[in-house]
Structure 1
Amino acid sequence: MNRIASLLAFPIARIKSPSLFLWLLISYITIVTLLVSFILYSVFFYRGHIKEEVITYNNLNLKNTIDSYEGKISLIENSILSFSMNDKIAALDKPNFDYAAGSKLIDELQMYLSNQSLYLENMIIYFQKSNVTIEKSRGADADVMFQRYYSSKDYSYEFWKSQFDNLYVTRILPASTFSEYEYLNKKVSTQLIPIVIKNQTNPSVLIIAFADARKMFEAFHQSITNEFYIVDDVQRPYFSSGGADETFPAFDRNSSFVKHGNNYYFYKKGDTSRLTYVNVIPDDTISQMKWNINFVLLLALAVVISILAAFLFSVQFNRPVKQLVLAIQQLTTGFPWQKHSSIKEFAIIQDKVRHLLDSNFDISQNLEEKNSLLRHYAYINQLKNIRGNASYLTDLIKSNQPYRVVLFKLTFRPQLLEEIADDEERATLFIRAYIDKILTEKYPDSLTLQLESDQLLSVIYSGDAELSLEDTLDGLKEVLELDQAYCFSTIAVSARYERQEEFKVSFEQVKSLLQHRKFGSDNQVLWESADSKLANYYLMPAQEEELNASLTSGNEGQLIQFVKRELAAIRKKEAGEHEVRSFVSCIVDRAKRAFIVNQLDIELLQTMQTRLAHCHTFEELELVFEEWLPRLTDLIKSKKEKKDHITSFVFDYLEQHYAHDITLDMMADKLNITRSYLSTYFREKTGTYFVDYVNLIRVSRAKELLSRSDVKIGDAAARVGYQNINSFNRMFKKFTGVTPSEFRKVERA
């Protein structure tokens, strides 16, 4: 019975354990299904939102158009009313018209109409008592003016004459085309909107301003189409952008648009003119996306091709795996088989190879421990000297073989340091053992030593195997990436050298290469061909002003937006570690100055700076900034409410006059207090000596000059207020840790 059960168990196991081919095919089809589901979900989800966004956009466009029109109409009416108060107009309102005085009024009309911002093409002043009209270039009887010079099919001489009998102050008339007749020829002017003004102090004078309708439309109209109308309450057209009348649907005062036929009508009434402005938008630009037969066919074709490709790839991948399984089974016949993987082919490989790997590992482990001890004792004395002076390694270089120097810089994550109790050196020792094992297998004469708690140095005698070095280092990088969550590395590779005395050059070369690492938490291999120019982040004047304003006012939103925008720009151009750290330092420096100005304890800032030092990705930087910047701005805002008069005056004055000769006595005189009182008060309030703060500002400005241009060091010192170059060098090193020439060398490296 047991034998029968065992014979039945194997086929059942084969059924329950699907083959690699089936696993692959199911996995690929699952991926295709998820992608198709996401595409369909996106189509259904976004098609409804698009219409809402487009309607909101068109409502905003119409609002901007109305604001421009209404503001300009109000300006024109007020301006003409002011002009109507001219004494010359009242003086000319007589039965016998004074043409000499009328000529002077024409001059004033020309000057008034020269204001292009009013969009007035002309203005006619109609005197009822004398039946005379004047405009910017002539005077004439009213019937001549309106029948010959400003003739319109909509506005006759009788129409204008009848306006004296109507009671109103201002009136906007529908736009019309006005023509000027010269002999038998007819000259057509542009489309004009008449605006009529009647001053109650001179009821027998009518002022007609002609606004250029086309210019106003081109200047004020905002829409995705050019179909625009102005109508009154009964939908009588006052202006049409196309010149043709349109039949409008009924407008609901509780809505801002209505759909009629194939168009959407966006409308709103102006507060000043009480006219209704209408934008006509075709339905095609607003309606939800409709299913397209081409889209459906393309999606179906993509699904079919994807499934076919999944099938073919699964077959191609499964074939060599089956051959490998057969070979391993023949090689390891006699060993018991216990399935661990859910894929039967992988289960066989795992079980059959395990014995070989375990045996090989035990042997290799034993040999490695012995070799490691021997190499360690052989180089322990040199290692002590290396940490003080790397040139001692010269004695280890073989004079008859070409070599390369490889420097490994390890960066440990905080979670790993917590697990190993901050013992970086012990963690580095394990990594050194692995690297040494791999390199000595490839290059037997090579050696690997630990320089610092986070640095390893390898000397590789590549010889004929030079071409395989890149593959070897890439293999090391891939293995180190397995522990990327705890540690990542930068691998700097020097050029190829042959003489012992060149070792110092090669060592300096790899140290310099480490500075060219791209920002991120990935493992990177840097070769001697890397770009030698180190980019440094600096603020443009506008950015400087924006950042300082945000910190000074404690504007959290503006500050976070600035930091995110700058991080996105740096990330887009794939900046190096040096530039990103320069940006972080820039933000911290400005924040520190803001804390000093507001007399705040910088302990919180130091904590943020420590957190930022452990950020190795842009996402981590953004999270830390989003967490800490609001806390900094809250402190600044709370402190601004308790602004100190003396320190605020000192800070503001130094920001504006840091390049001048500034002394404590001078500042005390400006504040009308004693020198000793100002010194003590400033120290108690800011935690910083007055002289140190002056030098801090000057050195910060000097760094910007040395970063942005090729200004000489002496000129930079003079520009920020140092007349003595020795004093400048001393203060620069005190606040930055390096001399100006060393700082410039890094910037130009």
Structure 2
Amino acid sequence: MNGFKRRIAASFALMIVLFAIVDVLIVYLVKSHVQADALQMSQLTVEMMAERYQSHFQRVEDVLSREFTDRQVVRLRKQLLAHTDPAMLNTRAVAEEFLRIVGESDLYIDNLILTFRSASLAVDKNGAAQAADLLADYSGEVYSLAYWNTQYERKAEYESHPAVHLSNSRHQTGTMTVIPYSFKPAFADYMLIAMIDADRLRAAMLDEQTDVNATIMGPDRFFRYTTAMDTRELPAILLAGGSPVDVSDDRFPDRSESSLEAVNRGAVGDGSSLSLDQTIAFIVAAEMSLAVLAAYLLGRHIYTPVRQMQLSVSRPFEDLVNVNERNERLKPEQEEVIPIRRNALNWWDGGFADFVESEEHYTIVLYELRFRLAADAGMREDISRAIVGEIERLTGEYVPSSLTYQVEQRRFLSIVPGLACGEIPALLEGLKQIFDRDTRHVLVTVAISPLFGSDIRLNEAYQQLQRILMQARPLEETQILLGAGKSDDDVVWTLQREQKFVAAMMVGDEEELVNLAHVTLEELDLRENSLEAFRRLAGAIIDKTRQLLFHCNLPADRVRQWDLSAERLDLCCTVTEYNEELGAYLKGAASLIKEKKDAEEPVVEQIMKAIQERYMEDLSLDVLAVEFQLSPSYLSTYIKEKTGLNFIEHLHDTRLRNAQLLLLDTDLHIQTIGSQVGYRNISSFNRMFKSRTGLSPSEYRRASMMNRKRLG
């Protein structure tokens, strides 16, 4: 009997195994097939959605770019810079232009807002108002005036912002959703914001696919907008751009690497998958019911063996649940273990603990080494070792109770007790004399902290010193910095200069590029900006140059070989070095473009050459049209298309550039200089010179002479 029971139990177990195998095969084949089709459909939906939104946002970018440089907007900015009486500001033309743009129904723009960094005025389709009052209609809980002021510090020109829900503003009644889209070129002091009506745009983008629930994200993977009618599915922090969200779940298709991403949040993971799971669950339930019936009919007399088998099967699952629960309890403890990066020197055991225990006040002196281009990799280690030796020697002589550590590869830190702080000036004077002996290879910047108490952590003090170091200027000497200096005034790379830069680069004009970089660096130095401001300017010029070369379709190996010279700009420490290295960098880029232009654009090259050689004559578009046997209208369009600027802009730029050189290098009368560069009317010369440089010819000459005296 027992043998029979065992055979019955074995048969029953075999039947269960067979059912399980069939279930697994069914689940694998059916679900994989259905999900593959669903994933493909979701992929197509996401790509179509992203392309539609991307195309529309590109149109909005074109509108913002065009309106940003509109003549009326530029004129209004100049009036604000000239501190014109608010009552005299010409804002009506700007508002009418904005109203015209808003009236274009296929753009779905609810409003255009022009804000200025240096003024509290803002202009929209209804006219001018205080910026805070005007922006309040579109602030929601997120976009205050303070938020938009922080946008002047960003690097990106175009920025889409998370959608915001509004209700009962002065522009509309009821509720609506807007997507702010702003445009601010690098170093610009005003910004243009398009308030896109997300609800109308959603209806146009989804067309007949009203059941699609997609989420739009920007290039930083922050949420911008969800097409779901019920936005409660997304937390409020996502709609405000609070944090990026990981959407790498297998249910979602891979996203494209464009500047806009659309993720379908419902096409795959909701209805179809749920219906499939319900079907499979029904099949499994039916099969298990048959198994139970067979067990009842065939095993009424073998209840105990079957029960034991059930217990033996269920116990492993109970153990697995217990293990999972234990892991969940341990997870918070594991997350509290944060890896700490420690320096090679154990400064705590080296004596700093004594400062904390004695609650003594202390001052920190931070030394930063800036190696110059003349110092190769082999020399730097020897120079660092020599400088450390001098620091330790003089510090031990003047302040024996101090502690000195190397905190980074090119930074050294001395902690001086409060009672010995009076010896710091003599110590630094001695070190400055030693450091200045070899400024050809290395420049040293010294930052001195205020007197800290024991309640200040060393990490906080070090961060303060890092901010002080950023105030270092591009000087060829040891600098000793006490506290934070004035903030940088580095808004010199204006939109107008960038346009000139693009025009000169596209024709390979090395002289114009080098002169433009020189004038910009000189102005930055006149404003006494920090070395960090010079690095930002060099970075902006390098980024723009790389963009232009990319669009020229130059050979990749040539571009990579030329771009290696950009690494030398990171080692520049003085204005002279920036002039030399940036000039060499731009000459290399211009030569690459010029080689391509010589083969492809001989006509525009000849036109630019004629302007460079005959700018002092009564040169006109009609004269050149006759010489090149082209119509004036075609020639004007051709020059604009190939260079980005029209003929008269090229002519004025060349004349004024040569006028600047004459003002700096000669003592000629201003009227004589104007005549020599092609201006027969002195008032026209003065007006054109001031509109391009911001200074009259006499003011420009006087400022340049003062700068030379200060530097020389």
Instruction: State the TM-score, normalized to the length of structure 2.
Output: 0.34
Instruction: State the TM-score, normalized to the length of structure 1.
Output: 0.32
